[in-house]
Amino acid sequence: MTDLRGWGLPEQHLLPDAVVAFVDGELSSTAHERASAHIQRCGFCAFETFTQQQARSAVRTASTPTASASLLDRLGAIPQEVELPSAPDGLAITEDGQFVAVQRTDKPAFGSGPVLGSSRPLGSNGWFSGRRARQGAGVVVSGMLLSALAFTTPESEAPATTPVPQNAGAIFATTP
């Protein structure tokens, strides 16, 4: 890898794809000659070529894998045609096979509701008014107050801090 070529550049190894193409005989004649010359000089690429040749011959001499009869039966039982579910609401497929959005006619169009400010204000004569709303607000406030009290500690119960020795940084300063 540190061998210098004619221009003073370090020589590089063959890429794995180039080694495979060399072993399979898929390189052009010029590329094959260059790869051959490199493999003669470079032990690493010669070893890579040798292992690729072994892998190629092992694959070529391997027997064909077989599937069990039960697997073949299960694969044969897969139906050729399946009943598909209906299209999702609001979508349809055109004759061209494209998805399109379908406007629903059972709901009013956007903007056809009451004018802003014409409806009743929130909290007036609804679920959030009256005794139930006051009880709910009281529960929320008391829960927040209790959680705030649980997480605060008086100053007298604060844990004592351990004093740091004055030369604590000196250990790290002298370590290489």
Please give the radius of gyration of the chain, using alpha carbons only, rounded to the nearest integer.
40
Binning pLDDT at 50, 70 and 90, where does residue 64 land? confident
51 domain residue, yes or no: yes
28 domain residue, yes or no: yes
Q: What's the domain range around 33? A: 16-60
Total domains in the fold of the chain: 1
- Residue 119, Cβ density class (10 Å: 0-12 exposed, 13-18 middle, ≥19 buried): exposed
33 domain residue, yes or no: yes
pLDDT in tens, 16-43: 999 999 999 999 999 999 999 999 999 9
21 domain residue, yes or no: yes
134 domain residue, yes or no: no
Average pLDDT, the chain: 76
39 domain residue, yes or no: yes
132 domain residue, yes or no: no
124 domain residue, yes or no: no
